[in-house]
Structure 1
Amino acid sequence: MPMHPQEIEDLLRDTFPNAKIMVEGDDGVHMSAMVIDESFRGMNRVQQQRAVYAALKGKMDGPNGELHALALTTRAPD
């Protein structure tokens, strides 16, 4: 079942309540997200992206995941 951008944003918002989050995509399977959050300060890019994937609570896990691809941009605020 495809995911709507708002569903992804809601999952991310649970973990990153004060983040700037923007989710885009129109097919529900291949999406992009930008997450800017203070909790990323001091983390490398891999650590940041792992935190985002964890926030998605298994929605991208394996071939049966609801979300097939998510292009991520993550960083701490300037």
Structure 2
Amino acid sequence: MAAPTDTAAEQTQSTTGITPDTLTSTLKSDPTLSPIHVDIQDISGGCGASFAALIVSDAFSGKSALQRNRMVNGILKKEISAVHAWTPRCVTGEQWEKMKGQGS
């Protein structure tokens, strides 16, 4: 869902205060996650309503995909409740290295 104008996009972001940078900062500051890499993209055309994320952390080792997502969602509980869509992809450092090697 894209904002009809740049002004509307700015208004949505200013209302929620949620941007890829704020989400990244919150994740990077969490001591239990200690992410190796965080890449968050606004997939709503710049209005700040939908985000996709790649989060790399060795804290995900031994956890299922559901447990990983719950871990991240717990950290971003307040932010997620204010956006339309949140799509995280949570991988370990080892998985990320394999992904980079495969060009994924």
Give your verdict on TM over 0.5: yes
Deviation at 1:77, TM superposition (A): 1.2
Between the aligned partners of 2:37 and 2:73, the Cα distance in structure 1 is 16
- Give the whole-Å Cα distance in 2 for the aligned partners of 1:77 and 1:17: 11
In structure 1, list runs of 5 or more residues that go unmatched.
Answer: none
RMSD: 1.4
The answer to whether the 8 Å contact 2:34/2:59 transfers is: no
Equivalent residues of 2:35, 2:55 under 8 A apart: no
1:6 aligns with 2:21: yes
Q: Which has the higher strand share?
A: 1
TM, length-normalised to structure 1: 0.83
- In the alignment, what sits opposite 1:55? 75
Percent identical among aligned pairs is 18
Structure 2 unaligned regions, length at least 5: 1-14, 95-104
What is the deviation of 1:27? 2.0
Cα offset for 1:29?
Answer: 1.0
Shift of 1:53: 0.6
Structure that is richer in helix per residue: 2
RCO higher in structure (CA 8 A, sep ≥6): 1
